[in-house]
Amino acid sequence: MLSITKPTLVLNSDICRGNIRQLARKAREAGVLFRPHFKTHQSAEIGEWFRNEGVSSITVASVTMARYFAQHGWNDITIAFPVNLLEINWINNLAASVHLNLLIESAETARFIASNLTSECGFFIKIDTGYHRTGIEFSKIRLIEEVLKSAAGPLLKFKGFLVHSGNTYHAGSREEISRIQSFTADKLLHLKKHFIYQYPDILLSVGDTPSCSQLPVSEGMDEIRPGNFVFFDIMQFGLGSCALSDIAVALVCPVVAMHLNRREAVIYGGAVHLSKEQTLLLPDPDPVFGLVVPWDESGWDTGTLLGKVKALSQEHGVVSLTQAGCNLKPGDKVAVLPVHSCLTVSAMKRYYTLAGEVIETLTV
Amino acid sequence: MLSITKPTLVLNSDICRGNIRQLARKAREAGVLFRPHFKTHQSAEIGEWFRNEGVSSITVASVTMARYFAQHGWNDITIAFPVNLLEINWINNLAASVHLNLLIESAETARFIASNLTSECGFFIKIDTGYHRTGIEFSKIRLIEEVLKSAAGPLLKFKGFLVHSGNTYHAGSREEISRIQSFTADKLLHLKKHFIYQYPDILLSVGDTPSCSQLPVSEGMDEIRPGNFVFFDIMQFGLGSCALSDIAVALVCPVVAMHLNRREAVIYGGAVHLSKEQTLLLPDPDPVFGLVVPWDESGWDTGTLLGKVKALSQEHGVVSLTQAGCNLKPGDKVAVLPVHSCLTVSAMKRYYTLAGEVIETLTV
């Protein structure tokens, strides 16, 4: 039984396991490899819930995370982040013991890795199909050829092309997400066709949570790598990826002040707990930092909205209250559904299940 | 000597000690108590640098921080956060061993604390002079009287009125900060005058970093509680509170990708390291998540700007490069001056000095 007196990250493990089961089934039915991104939960224990659904290949965002999960028995790991040359020693260390894939997007980097590897290691070329954060633009065939040439060597093995369509996070509708997904698949299939004679085993790897949770897997893709779906959050709710009742984590916070003259409450729960991520929930024109719902020791209740977090300081949250929220008083507890669960987890670093068990994450 | 391979929070202790010295002197010369807010650095070791400047009274933002600093020998602590009734046991525990002050802003809370205290404890009434986050509006004399009446009892002692003028963070000029400061002082002096016959020892406590660092202390104030000045940051630079060279912390990050076609770099250093705080640096119309400057093992150099962080994902930072920044390459390291040092410290939880020493913070 949970006894909460300060901001506490609570995990509903039934919802979480359900989310895992659903996407594992979708991947199985589509005949693609499910290589979930573990950057969202960052927890060996939650990793086991994936293993129970048949998952054995994972994605992580850093060498540090790869080391952590390798220590916990995962041996097929893709670090889906432009490879950090400064960590070559750790990369070699990992590549000696697990099947490791890196992400490469420039000829210099390919050259450096090819000449400094001491164990066999795979790599994907990161392709940009419109998000414009990282990757080689899909049309730059000559640049891709240059990377492949620079990667030549006995230990660095080309695996395929990888895209993160983060632009789905800015989509205004499911149709737009679908257009982004189709465009990405089309460009990847085009690349595969171009390089297949040279590399007959090219894999195509995709997988942001909005398209993976809302749409069928595109024809011709080999693996999907969603991460956030394990918990979902308000941002995914706003994008149509989940219902509020699919969100598996909430920050439980004490109410410390009521300002009914402006229909506001202040909670102990701020940017250091939730992260300062904001989102829009249309038609509301103002940014939201979390949605506030009732909490009791048996869990939170998404059937009633008490308010929305309208501002965050370091330790304070300012909540704009609904009529139902106006009955709160100092000493009450509320649950805040986070805007971006990955960042909230990273800030809190420890979950409490509804049964009161502690689940640790990677802490560095 | 520091050997950095991944995002690392580096502290220039000379700059930091200089910032502490300067504000300690200002308080001394103004004849007010310097009660710095320790929520920014959250470190027992940096606390000692304050003690060296004669500081013996501190401010914190939570019971957890109060416990940490009490364990490290601080015995005059104000928790400048609306008191969290759920932590009454810890409050009693603390009040039994140190001089503790709480913040109260409602009659119910005052009643609860007065009837549940087991040791003597002080309290300030939080007054709102325009920030509208927490506190009783300065004009609500009857509400203040009600709080004072509800707080009556043998153990809860009224200390005075406390304001955080966080609205200075939205000021467009030093003149505006000055107007906010004067308005606040005026309203506090008015309250003191009203209550002085009943409470002859009323203290007036103020102290946001913009007004404390830019302006003389207002006439009639008894203590100042700034916190951020210990490190400063880009937000304070934008407000005119400091020069770039006064910023005492930077996140050192590896460059992992260059996209010269759009004059961008990608660094390993994202929202989980810097926090997702943003600010405007006029006349640039776009938000900034950090300023990027050169780094070598002897420190960072604010004389050259390599770029600004224009976007943050969980682990990625996207940097919009200056001409000088276009010479970077993967494997290089850069220093990012944070937008909000309090949040960056809270995310990183550990400093490395330029000499390579580790300084720990409170970790919970």
Token output for B231: 């490190």
Q: Select from A87, A109, A257 the Cβ nearest to the Cβ of B105.
A: A257
Query: Quick one: angle between helices A107-116 and A141-150, nearest 10?
Result: 20
Q: Which of B199, B195, B205 lies closest to B102, judged by CA?
A: B205
Token output for A40: 């969202």
Q: What percent of chain B has pLDDT over 70?
A: 99
pLDDT bin (cut points 50, 70, 90) of residue B363 is confident
Token output for A48: 């086991």
* pLDDT mean across residues, chain A: 97
Q: Which residues contact A283 (CB under 8 A, 6 or more apart)?
A: none
Token output for A132: 């414009």
Given a cut of 90, whether residue A1 has pLDDT beyond it is no
What average pLDDT score do residues A207-214 get?
94
Give the tens place of pLDDT for each residue, A308-359.
999 999 999 999 999 999 999 999 999 999 999 999 999 999 999 999 999 9
A107 touches chain B (CB under 8 A): no
Give the tens place of pLDDT for each residue, B42-69.
999 999 999 999 999 999 999 999 999 9
Q: Where are the beta strands (DSSP E) in chain B?
A: 8-11, 33-34, 58-60, 76-82, 99-104, 121-128, 136-137, 156-162, 203-206, 223-224, 249-259, 264-268, 290-296, 299-300, 307-312, 316-321, 333-338, 350-353, 358-360
pLDDT bin (cut points 50, 70, 90) of residue B326 is very high
pLDDT at position A364? 66
CATH code matching the domain that covers B14-231, chosen among 1.10.357.10, 3.40.1160.10, 3.40.630.30, 3.20.20.10: 3.20.20.10
Which residues of A are less than 8 Å from B331 in CB distance? Answer: 85-86, 112
What average pLDDT score do residues A290-306 get?
97
pLDDT at position A108? 97
Given a cut of 70, whether residue B339 has pLDDT beyond it is yes
Q: Which residues contact B206 (CB under 8 A, 6 or more apart)?
A: B162, B163, B164, B165, B181, B184, B185, B188, B218, B221, B223, B224, B225
Contact B330 A256 (CB under 8 A): no
pLDDT at position B2? 81
pLDDT at position A112? 98
CB B34 within 8 A of CB B28: yes
Question: Which residues sit opposite B126 in a β-bridge?
Answer: B162
Distance of alpha carbon A128 from its chain centroid, rounded? 18
B189 touches chain A (CB under 8 A): no
Name residues 244-303 of chain B within 8 A of A (Cβ): 254, 256-259, 262, 266, 268, 271-272, 275-277
Amino acid at B325: G
What average pLDDT score do residues A160-168 get?
95
Amino acid at B156: L
Give the separation between CA B34 and CA A246, rounded to whole angstroms.
49
pLDDT at position A25? 98
pLDDT bin (cut points 50, 70, 90) of residue B208 is very high
- b vs e for A230-257, b when ≥16 Cβ sit within 10 Å of the residue's Cβ? bbbbbbbbbbebbeeebbbbbbbbbbbb
* Residues written for chain B: 364
Which residues of A are less than 8 Å from B208 in CB distance? Answer: none
Please give, rounded to a whole number of angstroms, the shortest distance from the CA of B257 to a CA of chain A. Answer: 7
Distance of alpha carbon B68 from its chain centroid, rounded? 17
pLDDT bin (cut points 50, 70, 90) of residue A363 is confident
Please give, rounded to a whole number of angstroms, the shortest distance from the CA of B147 to a CA of chain A. Answer: 13
- Mutation pick from B37, B167, B262, B272 vs chain A, by most beta carbons of A within 10 Å, is B272
Give the separation between CA A355 and CA A13, rounded to whole angstroms.
9
- Mutation pick from A256, A319, A332, A349 vs chain B, by most beta carbons of B within 10 Å, is A256
Q: State which residue of chain A sits closest to B312, comparing Cα positions.
A: A133
Give the separation between CA A220 and CA A193, rounded to whole angstroms.
11
B314 touches chain A (CB under 8 A): yes
Q: How many CB atoms lie within 10 A of CB A304?
A: 12
Token output for B234: 């880009």
CB A121 within 8 A of CB A100: yes
Q: Select from B266, B275, B314 the Cβ nearest to the Cβ of A82.
A: B266
Q: Which of B84, B226, B94, B237 lies closest to B164, judged by CA?
A: B226
Given a cut of 80, whether residue B364 has pLDDT beyond it is no
- Mutation pick from A92, A268, A310, A361 vs chain B, by most beta carbons of B within 10 Å, is A268
- Mutation pick from B9, B37, B81, B150 vs chain A, by most beta carbons of A within 10 Å, is B81
Given a cut of 90, whether residue B226 has pLDDT beyond it is yes
Which residues of A are less than 8 Å from B81 in CB distance? Answer: 256, 268, 315-316
3-state secondary structure chain A: CCCCCCCEEEECHHHHHHHHHHHHHHHHHHCCEECCECCCCCCHHHHHHHHCCCCCCEEECCHHHHHHHHHCCCCEEEEEEECCHHHHHHHHHHHCCCEEEEEECCHHHHHHHHHHCCCCEEEEEEEECCCCCCCEECCCHHHHHHHHHHCCCCCEEEEEEECCCHHHHHCCCHHHHHHHHHHHHHHHHHHHHHHCCCCCCCEEEECCHHHHHHCCCCCCCCEECCCHHHCCCHHHHHHCCCCHHHCCEEEEEEEEEEEHHHCEEEEECCHHHHCCCCECCCCCCCCECEEEEEEECCEECCCCCCEEEEEECCCEEEEEECCHHHHCCCCCEEEEEECCHHHHHHHHCEEEECCCCEEECCCC
Half-sphere exposure (Cβ direction) of A225: Cα atoms closer than 13 Å: 24
Name residues 65-84 of chain A within 8 A of B (Cβ): 81-84
3-state secondary structure A187-229: HHHHHHHHHCCCCCCCEEEECCHHHHHHCCCCCCCCEECCCHH
Q: How many CB atoms lie within 10 A of CB A40?
A: 26
A16 touches chain B (CB under 8 A): no
Which residues of B are less than 8 Å from A166 in CB distance? Answer: 313
Q: Would you list the domain boundaries of chain A? A: 14-231, 242-360
The three-state secondary structure class of B233 is coil
Contact A314 B64 (CB under 8 A): no
Give the tens place of pLDDT for each residue, B22-48.
999 999 999 999 999 999 999 999 999
* Architecture per CATH, A242-360: Beta Barrel (2.40)
A140 touches chain B (CB under 8 A): no
Given a cut of 70, whether residue A27 has pLDDT beyond it is yes
Backbone angles phi, psi at B228, to 5 degrees: -60, -30
Region of residue B332 (phi > 0: left; psi between -120 and 50: alpha; otherwise: beta): beta
CB A243 within 8 A of CB A237: yes
Given a cut of 90, whether residue B314 has pLDDT beyond it is yes
